[in-house]
Structure 1
Amino acid sequence: MEEAPLFFVGHHDPRRSLPVTAGHIQDAHAANYDMLTCPITTPYFHTRVLSKLSTHLPDSSSTSSIDLTRSTNASPVEIEALGPRDTPLTPDETTGQLIGVSSPWIDLSSPDPVIADVSRQVLKLELAYAAFCGLTYVLIPGPRMHNRADDGSGIVQYARAILDALALGPYMQLYIWMPLIDHSDNDKEDIGYLAPFSRQQFAGHSDGQSPRLDLFGTWEAWSTIRSICKYSSRLSIALDLPKLLPPVSIQSRWYSEPVRILTLDANIFLENQKGYPVLSRAHQALVSHFVRHKNPPWFLLSNVGPVPAVMNGGMDVKDSAAFPALGEAFSAVKEPTPHLWYMRNLQNKQPPPSLIERFGAGYQDYLQAPLQPLTVNLESITYEVFEKDPIKYDWYEQATARALSDWISQRKPASGTDGRIVVAVVGAGRGPLVTRALKAAETVGIDIDMWALEKNPNAFVLLQRHNDTIWNHRVNLVKSDMRTWRGPVHQENARRVSEMLGQTKSIPQGSSYTGSVDTDSTYLLATAARQPTYYKIDILISELLGSFADNELSPECLDGVQHLLNPTHGISIPTSYTAFISPIAAPKLYADINNSMVQTTPHAAETPYVVMLNAIDHLSTTTNSPQTNTSAPRTLSNSRSSSIPSPPTPLILPCWSFQHPNPHLPSSPPSTNAHNTRHTVLHFPVPHRGACHGLAGYFECVLYTVVLSTNPNTMADTSPDMMSWFPLYFPLKSAVWFPDDSECVVTLWRREDGRKVWYEWMVEAFVYVDEGGRTRGKRGKANASGKGRGRRIKVGGSEVHSSFEEGCLM
């Protein structure tokens, strides 16, 4: 049985006694905590900073002794280096069990330059010493935003301080501690906080009205911080959960971000009938979603009481305060850490990983270059991965059985010289489709003329073995490229070849030869003796689809073999397929490409990648429909209560389609590939602000009245748990910003030059402005048509990206 996700739970107490010793660590482990937090500096240091600051800022009036002519550019208040009384930390074995916490009382985003500068000095001193002690993880309180009228400049100042902080410890991970949403309840300015010291002349102007709750305000602040810090892999989020969760649209946005810690304060827990703390169903759903990430966040329980001091099986008698009062004795003995006990219980109740999650373990948000199947012979392990799919081959078998059944019921004439229906699998690989075609024929109750074509000489060896051991010589094997194959040949030609080669035994039905004039001397011998007798294929089966349907040259390959198909009744499986696209926020993929891959691969940002998308957010969404509740990358494996709102339904639009057989192709193989080029312009309404990092590509495919789909909106209904294809990700070199109620226009091309096929793409951002210059919340079809009152203004966009250098060779 698969194990449930593992929770790593830490304990945070702002009033923890210092220093944190090895004994405290042992107590925490005994209580079943995994880690503790520890402030980097002491209250003594806090007092020292306040004293220094008060000397220069005797009051909050404008008659401060600070020279305002230099206060924006200099450091009028200098904080001396740390001393032994300023910090409880010592570099020892306990540091590996601790998460450092920088001073919550500083204000890096203060509009007062003196306060901001003192805060930067404090943070620099703390992080430098934390790095010296070997602390790996440090929590830094996020910027103060509520009731700030500084046009966002404070966030920029904060981000600049964090950028400097990243240079202080090359191995230190910084977690920006922010609330999930910006709310007035987050203004916790205890005595001694620096924010109230800000001088009036720097406070800005307020209209006197209560600020409107901005659900995306915290996220936008984080987006600014990480952009200025160049998407550093050492910068992540510690997210403080509120008692009431915001709409799922903002929750979905945070799912795409590098959230490494979820903070659960005691006040967000409810009390069940037995008096124990529990999380609401909405909070449980949020937790369950986050733990499905490849790198799930840790949990930090805050203000849930002290860690019980347990030594030698009992309480530490050195701390009399640890003993409960008489009225509390029963509950204390019953469960001394009820919040932790609940989290461990919630951990045990998590459903095991789904089939797709088990299959994709390690592949979440991992960039893989698409295959080059026409120029590179695949390894056996690659075929094996594809063959593990529990859905695809079942669906192929069903489609083949339906095609055979319809052929018989409609009394279509077969192309085989002996009256049998001719079935050919082109690109047979290791043979799974051949096996399924034979099973389909057995299900229908007929005997078929079975052919299997494969150009990979290594896979062809295995096909020959399968013909001996599994298929009982019922398959005619052909080693050739499908585009040069002349088609099924009458068995008399195969016998004549054998005679010319000096073989006296006749070749059985399951013979192995090719029909390629370019690659097989055996065929040339047969041609020299007698013109081969070719016949047509009735049902042509292939599995040439890529993650974007046509990105592995399925149209080009099937064009090359279409002339072998029965011109009147021939069936291709698949019969058609459509590519789909949607703009997404994918900060992890963006960082991986722009911070790492471009250093070694110049065209990394213009290469489409196969990715099991997980930490993403679809920027364009529609109203939820009853049959569709979420996208594939964000689907939990267990069902949820109807009382829990589902994530927004992503808007995923079709780009183009291909049909097989192509009714517009001539009877002979085409001389050019121009008919397979495509171009589309798609319009996506963007209801909430966000950064577009790229495009997610999917496909839907009709085999033969049976549908395969990787489209998150239809996959659950058509081909659930299918694993053969991950989406295709089209990256952007630079993220494109979209305001609220804007429009994303995606332009996409499929191009060719006779030698290779590649894609080109670009993204543009537009807003609609009314006659008074105000932006309008005009979306959907009205935006796409551009009609109606108001002007359409472009506010951003990408360059045209081209994958020419990494195009798929024909």
Structure 2
Amino acid sequence: MASSGNLSPESESFENRPVFYIGQHDPARTEVLTDEQYGQLLDSGFRSVTAPITNKHFFDRVVELLRNHQKEREQWSQERGLTATQQANPSLPGPVVPTLTDKDTSLFPSNYIGSLAMYSSPWIDLCSPDPLISSVSRQVLNLEAAYANFCGARTIIVPGPRQDDSSSGIAQYARAIREAMHVANRANVIIHMPMYREPGLEEKVETLASTLAPKNGLEAGTKKEIDLFSAWDSWNTIRSVCNYSMRLFVALRIPRRVPAKPLQERWFAEPLHYLTIGNEIFQLNRAGHPSLSRHHQDLINRYMRLRSVPWLILEGVGPRPEELGALANQTASEFPTLAEADQALKERRRSHTPALHAHVGYMRYLERQQPAFSAMETPTLTNFQDWLQPPLQPLADNLESATYEVFEGDPVKYDQYEKAITEAMMEWGELKKPTSTATPENPSSPELVVTVAGAGRGPLVSRVLRAAEITGTPIQIWALEKNQDAYVYLLRKNKVEWGNKVTLVKTDMRGWEGPRLKGQQGVIGKVDILVTELLGSFGDNELSPECLDGIQQHLARPHGMSIPHSYTAHLSPISTPRLFADISSRVVGDPNAFETPWVVRLFALDYVAQKAPGRGRFQQAWEFVHPVEVARADDFAAVHGKAAKYVTGGVGSMAGATGANEHNARHCHLTFACPTRGVIHGLAGFFESVLYASQTGAGKEPVEISILPDQIDRKSKDMISWFPIFFPLKKPLYFPQDTELEVSMWRQTDDTKVWYEWLVEVYAWVGPNTRVKVGATDLHSSRKVACLM
């Protein structure tokens, strides 16, 4: 699904950059703008505006209700001789807020209601320790949410908690939000949260508590020490209580001082709907125009790279309603005749050219100054951001032509393969290696036997032929493909493009009898160079080890080589609430959703682990190297018999397995350092592969491909053939600061299929040499969705 930014009228001008949607929020606004005022606001450059659901009349009515209730309670206590410190009867009925009337709101259904962001009353206090205040606040929120939902509102913004100190208060708030989402069952609910509690930027709004007891002040004193993650902690509690609802979002208030990267990345992973920028964040430049610091610009540019681009709301910026009203009075009478209305419209067109508001003009300038989309940010790739795909099963299923075409659209991968094949052919001659076409009559035959196993539609075959031409290497080339439909395509390609130079064989590579050498009647030879592209997002998850086991018996020993030569799998724990919410929504139709390793272009995520001595952010799980010299399938068959793998109750580690594939089982235990507290939703998996490592000893760099975030630009920049793999957790795992995450993972096999099992544990240091376990996940297993051999 395309980004909503592509639908903007400005997208034609800035199609190679994200589009800014700019809205306006006036905290002092108590009435909905009139149609005329709204139109004038649009003329000044804003694209949306917030609208209060209720007005001052409703506030006064609620305050009066509470005061009357307080008087009744005081009178009741006096009649019974209770002192002020003695508690009144808790069974006394509390105040009930009556339904809204037309005097309580100026919001009514309209044609443009969908473009308004409804803003709930900022004077309610859902976290209040006073049960009367919190109860009335909850009632007000429900009344407003229900009415906004009736009017057709798409979004309802609710001011977030004002403090993060009280866990009971945050729990109260979270429970109230969950109830309001049930009431407004068609609208998105957006919690207005600060990035962190920055001193001097606290909300200074008259609340129910401050109105009823002014002596208590608006807020408690500001802490000297700032906890950067306390606001995020509150948000995490809210969305956890709301079960990661797909209708719950964040409106993030940008601070005056931009925090460190870990906090920026934490919020980047959250479901951002709005970025709000207050008037106090802007600075005047030398020309006296509003501007933002370089740090603010970088933060906005980063967040605008999300697939669902957050809207920008300028808070306390823009013309006031009374200013808009004054302009309206200047341009038209209240009840003009048709002639007067037509004349006023003509005069306005001649004399009034809408000018962008100064702050909007500056944001449009920033829009144009954003870095252009890179090669990895094409519309197609952007649409794949955080989009879950089940991994391919190439052994069990035959791929369609369109799937092959997607893979072939990545020149980087095939350029690296061609480079590896070229170097292998060049060094073959330099090292004077024998060839498999050599015979007693012709011991110095120069022809190399090259096999492309799993040829698909033939892109690797083309690269082998090109490498042979570049190096001047005579070859005999075989291409194996089990997909009968792709085989038809290969037959045509061999005639049209390859000049019938390729011997095509329709077979599963594991059952191939070997190359029948040309010019040697009936002789089945060996393979000098075996080329495959069987790698998956985790390296081995598409059963490359098992496939190569079945064909490497045809490799010439000891000089035969495999391209790729080796590959490693890597893991990193991540926070990705969007994916957790997505998978949660699939569980009803797919009970195995949380135990399926998903292929996904991870984007809105936070790598919670940090680099520390002996602890990397990305750590190697295991490695496979080819060719395998021992424990191959043919060696096993020679010892145990070809039918041994079908015998149950054998020697394998899994019940019912014989152990024929035991050498491809793996296990790892990794430790990740987490200096800041947070929550993880799963493990991100990556791979690296050495396609060819020089055998001349000349110190050449190996030819590699990688999808590791910190290595891809160095080893295979802009390669798009593989997205990472995601191993989800059934329940989010929270961890405190200065902890270690212990990740255990197994690659399991029972000789007929391969699956993964994973477990995460949290340990906290309580002394110089003592750790305690403070959390753990269930053992997850993908056995029910295993990759079939």
Q: TM-score range by the shorter chain?
A: 0.7 to 0.9
Match of 1:396 in 2: 417
The one-letter code of the counterpart of 2:38 is: I
Q: 2:498 aligns with which of 457, 471, 492?
A: 471
Partner of 2:646: none
Does the Cα contact within 8 Å between 2:284 and 2:290 map onto a contact in 1? yes
In the alignment, does 2:387 pair up with 1:355?
no
Q: Quick check: 1:572 aligned with 2:599? A: no
In 2, are the aligned partners of 1:743 and 1:766 still within 8 Å (CA)? yes
Is the contact between residue 174 and residue 234 of structure 1 (CA under 8 Å) also seen in structure 2? yes
**Distance in 2, Cα, partners of 1:191 & 1:730:** 47
- Report the Cα distance in structure 1 between the residues aligned to 2:549 and 2:725, rounded to whole angstroms: 23
Sequence identity (%) = 44
Residue 87 of structure 1 is aligned with which of 102, 105, 113?
Answer: 105
Match of 1:533 among 518, 523, 529: 523
Of 539, 543, 557 in structure 2, the residue corresponding to residue 553 of structure 1 is 543
Task: Specify the alignment match of 2:426 in structure 1.
Answer: 405
Say whether the 8 Å CA contact 1:237–1:259 is kept in structure 2: yes
CA distance in 2, matches of 1:50, 1:249: 42
CA deviation digits over 1:735-775, x for unaligned, max 9?
111100011000000000011000000111111112xxxxx
Structure 1 residue 333, shift from structure 2 partner: 9.6
CA distance in structure 2 between the aligned counterparts of 1:42 and 1:654, rounded to whole angstroms: 59
Is the aligned partner of 1:117 residue 2:96? no
Partner of 2:361: 341
Aligned pair count reads 712
SS of 1:680's equivalent?
A: strand
1:607 Cα deviation after fit: 0.5
Task: Please tell me whether the aligned partners of residues 31 and 308 of structure 1 are also in contact (alpha carbons under 8 angstroms).
Answer: no
- Cα separation, partners in 2 of 1:397 and 1:316, compared to 1, 3 Å: farther
Corresponding residue SS for 2:185:
coil
Matched, 1:31 2:10: no
Q: Following superposition of structure 1 onto structure 2, how do residues 630-641 of structure 1 map, counting pairs within 5 Å?
A: none
- The C-alpha deviation readout for 1:140-177, integer Å capped at 9, x for no partner, is 0001216x4x3x11000000000100111211011000
Alpha-carbon distance in structure 2 between the residues aligned to 1:694 and 1:104 = 36
User: Structure 1 residues 70, 388: closer, same or farther in 2, change over 3 A?
Assistant: farther
CA contact (8 A) 2:682 2:727 kept: yes
1:144-155 mapped onto 2 (5 Å cutoff): 144-145=162-163, 148=165, 150=166, 152-155=167-170
Contact 1:366–1:612 at 8 Å: present in 2 too?
A: yes
CA distance in 1, matches of 2:132, 2:624: 65
Classify 1:180/1:536 alpha carbon distance in 2 versus 1 (closer, same or farther; 3 Å): same
For 2:93 and 2:618, how far apart are their aligned partners in 1?
53
Structure 2 residue 203 is the aligned partner of structure 1 residue 183 = no
Equivalent AA in structure 2 for residue 677 of structure 1: A
Aligned position for 1:130: 148
Q: 2:620 aligns with which of 647, 650, 654?
A: 654
- What's the TM-score, normalizing by structure 2? 0.86
Q: Which runs of 5+ in 1 are unaligned?
A: 321-331, 495-531, 626-648, 771-788
User: Is the Cα contact below 8 Å between 2:63 and 2:212 reproduced in 1?
Assistant: no
Structure 2 residue aligned with 1:754: 751
Structure 2 equivalent of residue 686 of structure 1: 674
The 3-state SS of whatever aligns with 1:85 is: coil
Query: Hey, what's the Cα distance between the residues in 1 that align with 2:200 and 2:212?
Result: 20
Superposed CA deviations along residues 377-403 of structure 1, whole A, max 9, x for unmatched, are 000010001011121000000000000
Asked if the contact 2:133–2:208 (Cα under 8 Å) also holds between the matched residues in 1, the reply is no
Report the alpha carbon displacement of residue 486 of structure 1 after superposing the two structures with TM: 1.2
**Structure 1 CA distance for aligned equivalents of residues 504 and 635 of structure 2:** 22
RMSD: 2.9
The 1:38–1:75 alpha-carbon spacing in structure 2 relative to 1, beyond 3 Å, is farther
Q: Superposition pairs for residues 7-46 of structure 1, below 5 Å?
A: 7-16=20-29, 18-46=31-59
Deviation (angstroms), 1:319: 10
- The superposition leaves residues 453-482 of structure 1 with CA deviations (integer Å, 9 ceiling, x where unpaired) of 111111111111111111111111111111
* Secondary structure class of the residue paired with 1:23: helix
User: Matched residues in 2 for 1:336 and 1:475: separation?
Assistant: 66
Query: Which string of whole-angstrom CA distances, capped at 9 and with x for unpartnered residues, describes residues 189-233 of structure 1?
Result: 3345535747999x99x9x99352110000010000000010111
Distance 2:487 2:625 in 1: 29
Is the aligned partner of 1:372 residue 2:369?
no
1:94 CA drift (Å): 2.8
Q: CA deviation at 1:490?
A: 2.4
Q: Counterparts of 2:83 and 2:532 in 1: how far apart (Å)? A: 80
Task: Tell me what 2:5 maps to.
Answer: none
CA contact (8 A) 1:401 1:444 kept: yes
State which drifts further: 274-283 or 535-544: 274-283
Partner residue in 2 for 1:586:
576
SS at match of 2:19: coil
Kindly tell me: are residues 650 and 357 of structure 1, through their superposed partners in 2, closer, same or farther at Cα, counting changes over 3 Å? farther
Write out per-residue CA displacement over residues 359-378 of structure 1, whole angstroms, 9 at most, x where no aligned residue.
Answer: 41321111100000001000
- The 1:307/1:7 distance shift into structure 2, 3 A limit, reads farther
Partner AA of 1:613 in structure 2: L
Shift of 1:68: 4.3
SS in 1 for 2:734: strand
Inter-partner Cα distance in structure 2 for 1:685 and 1:735: 18
Q: One-letter code of the match for 1:441? A: A
In 2 relative to 1, CA 64–585 (structure 1 residues): closer, same or farther, beyond 3 Å? farther
SS at match of 1:28: helix
Of residues 584, 593, 608, the one that matches 1:604 is: 593
Is the alpha carbon distance of 1:242 and 1:623 closer, same or farther for their aligned partners in structure 2, counting shifts above 3 Å? farther
Equivalent of residue 742 in structure 1, options 739, 743, 758: 739
1:56–1:66 Cα contact (<8 Å) kept = no
Do the aligned residues in 2 keep the contact of 1:180 with 1:241 (CA within 8 Å)? Answer: yes
